[in-house]
Structure 1
Amino acid sequence: MDNLIINNLAGLLLVTSFLVVIARKTTTTACLYSLQSLVLVLLFWTIAHEYDAHALYDWSITAFVTKVVLLPMILYVQLGKMRDERAERVLIHPVWIGIIVAAISVICMYIIEPVHLPMVAELKPVLAVSLAHFFIGLLCIISQRNILKQIFGYCLMENGSSLMLALVAHRAPHLLEIGITIDAIFAVIFMVVLARLIFRKLHTLDGNQLTVLKG
């Protein structure tokens, strides 16, 4: 029963990833990212309970503070101050994005099929979801004209790496998760600052307008 809950939570991660990619407003995307991170926290908690991976309880607390509260708040407040309606037009229709996300998920299931690890053997769908998040994050980056939305592509990749680490190294010290999370926070802050400088200087968030460098 618990494995069913875990796999369903992993499926919900895919759904929230799709919503993050297709959302137009960055403030809406920040809220959806917070929701996805909450699902990730519940996933950590359930895996910790089912497999006696007690270190994941600490991971879930860290993930809640940083991914559910801190990062979305930074993104919501800072990115909400910048708006460029032209940049909100997506390059790929949401229907096609849904098809691509489904195809990525199926391909990742085939990729991880030969993997044989103690806990992963029963949670291969979850491992497939963690791997799929790298490619969904990349899809978010290349399918958006808005450079702010591209930041969330990185966030999706980071959530995927956290989930994969929880599956293959769930007995690792809590300090490892803290180090990875701190790196992610500083990376996001750096990208937000860079986006603000670009918007202040060029008055655009459209990545298509940033293809020519002027000396």
Structure 2
Amino acid sequence: MLMINTLAGLLILTSLAVIAAKTAKKSSALYAVQSLVLVALFVFLAQELNAHELYMWSVSAFVTKVLLVPAILIFAVRKLDESTVPASMNAAWLIPIATAIVVVCYMATNAVQLPLAEHLKPALSVSLSHFLLGLTCIVTQRNMMKQVFGYCLMENGSHLTLALLANKAPELVEIGIATDAIFAVMIMAVLVNKIYRTLHTLDAKQLTELRG
């Protein structure tokens, strides 16, 4: 129980590291670390909730989130020059923003009666926080490749929410979610590469015109 909430807190810290990293390559490695924490969470939740389906979820998440998605993103940025993209929001602002997000999400989950043990509500608030942290990443980052990680953070949050509230769902549901995430990341990576080859920049603020 303590381990579950500790790992959930570690998810927040790794999310901040993913957002604050200076390059997409570093963010990819940090995202792999976060996904490994998520895998560990699935294992402990399987024990706590007596949900053996979560063991299969952890295996699937390890293959897709720890191995495949970071590999796809690292491969996608290998020929992209990120040094020309100006710095985004000051990393010092991430801590108060994340704190406010977690507090609001905790108050929201604490005020609602859910079919979930009270001691797991902090983990649920963390899972909901990832939606807003992912949105924060998308809004604050000028590096288009870094914006992709906003989606990845939101997807990890939805994955944890599902594990907490629908842990008896068949493994096929989890595999479907993970597969969707892989294809979504691949499509976004291809689009970013296409934009870079056309405009020779990863700066989202340079996308001021739409041309046919």
TM-score range (shorter-chain normalised) is over 0.9
Distance in 2, matches of 1:84 and 1:122, equals 43
Question: Which among 197, 200, 203 is matched to residue 200 of structure 1?
Answer: 197
Instruction: List alignment gaps of at least 5 residues for structure 2.
Output: none
Distance in 1, matches of 2:72 and 2:191, equals 14
1:27 maps to 25
1:179 maps to 176
* Contact 1:120–1:127 (8 Å) recurs in 2: no
2:11 maps to 13
Does 2:155 match 1:158? yes
TM-superposed CA distance for 1:174, in Å, is 0.5
Distance in 1, matches of 2:64 and 2:79, equals 21
Partner of 1:172, secondary structure, is coil
Question: Which among 120, 134, 137 is matched to residue 134 of structure 2?
Answer: 137
TM-superposed CA distance for 1:117, in Å, is 3.0
CA deviation string 1:101-123 (max 9, x = no partner): 11101111001012333434220
Q: What do you get for the CA RMSD once the two structures are aligned?
A: 1.0
Aligned partner of 2:36: which letter? L
More deviation in 115-124 or 55-64?
A: 115-124
Distance in 2, matches of 1:121 and 1:38, equals 25
Q: How many correspondences in the alignment? A: 212
Distance in 2, matches of 1:23 and 1:181, equals 24
Identity of aligned residues (%): 52
Q: Kindly tell me: are residues 199 and 120 of structure 1, through their superposed partners in 2, closer, same or farther at Cα, counting changes over 3 Å?
A: farther
More deviation in 103-112 or 116-125?
A: 116-125
Output the TM-score relative to the length of structure 2: 0.97
Partner of 1:160, secondary structure, is helix
Aligned partner of 2:140: which letter? S
1:80 maps to 78
Does 2:38 match 1:40? yes
Partner of 2:113, secondary structure, is coil
Distance in 1, matches of 2:105 and 2:86, equals 29
More deviation in 69-78 or 28-37?
A: 69-78
* Contact 1:41–1:64 (8 Å) recurs in 2: yes
Output the TM-score relative to the length of structure 1: 0.96
Instruction: List alignment gaps of at least 5 residues for structure 1.
Output: none
Aligned partner of 2:183: which letter? F
Q: Kindly tell me: are residues 78 and 58 of structure 1, through their superposed partners in 2, closer, same or farther at Cα, counting changes over 3 Å?
A: same
2:99 maps to 102
